Amino acid sequence: MKRLNIVLSLALLLAAVPAMAAKDKDKGEAVVLPDVEMIDIPTAGILDYYGFLVKTRAYSGGGVLTGLNFGVLERLNLGASMTVDKFIGSDSGIKMRKPEIQVKFRFYDGGYYIPAAAVGYDGQGYYYNPSDKKYLEKGKGLYLVGSKEIGVPSLVMHGGFNVPDFDNNYLFSFIGMNYTLEDKVAFMVEMDNMFHSNDPSRFNAGTRIYITPYFQLDLAVREIGRNGKFDNGLGRKAERIVQMRYNTSF
């Protein structure tokens, strides 16, 4: 219970921090910034220069994933993330996993027909296996992603390719869409880990609630319809997650 109170207190603190950026200077009104990621897949969106994003995800088994990302240059973002298993709840044996890095460079801002594009690297995986010292679901690894508004305003499609394991050189793909309603709530669907029979694709869906333009709460379900196991017998089922995100600038 004490650990849960710590997480909730952090969420309230982030929501209460006064906004330091992302304001329309002419009107003095806060505006929602473009999303840099959906549930599991990246987008071509990036943080502004001097931008800052902190996120905390609660996942199955009382685990917590925490990540930090910075806009170090006009088109370059750098970040790091780390998981802590069994952090929430009464189970003993809290385990901190090694930090993983994230890098994203947006090299094209998009045009009328061509989507915005970015290249990046993300080492953060899911379901850490202590015996192999590897994530059973690997991170994105090296990826190329494009994002473009399609059809109607605020409906954006994202898609790309990634190579999570350089030893095997497998090429995967991902695609997703999100629709933002009046800068208050966004609906997200995505298909991840596509194009490889040895590791089935994953379908995720969720909702992003903009509590303020700077603080968002994600409620999502990963691996919808899945009720199987990894090759080593560990559970692999649909997973409910809660994620809190706060972005600002220096």
Least Cα distance to 173 among 189, 196, 148 occurs for 196
User: Nearest 5°: phi and psi at 115?
Assistant: -70, 160
- How many domains does the chain divide into? 1
Position 193: which residue type?
N
Read off the pTM. Answer: 0.83
137-152 pLDDT, tens per residue?
A: 889 999 999 999 998 9
154-170 pLDDT, tens per residue? 999 999 999 988 877 78
* pLDDT by 10s per residue, the chain, length 250: 444 444 444 444 444 444 433 444 444 455 677 899 999 999 999 999 999 999 999 988 889 999 999 999 999 999 999 999 988 887 778 889 999 999 999 999 999 899 999 999 999 999 888 888 888 888 999 999 999 999 899 999 999 999 988 877 788 999 999 999 999 999 999 999 887 656 678 999 999 999 998 999 999 999 998 776 655 445 567 889 999 999 988 7
3-state DSSP assignment of residue 13: helix
Structural domain of 215: 2-249
Q: What is the CATH number of the domain that holds 99?
A: 2.40.160.40
Return d(Cα 94, Cα 116) in angstroms, integer: 41
DSSP string, 114-179: SPEEEEEEE---EEEETTTTEEEE---EEEEEEEEE-SSTTEEEEEEEEE--TTTT--EEEEEEEE
Name the DSSP class of 37.
B
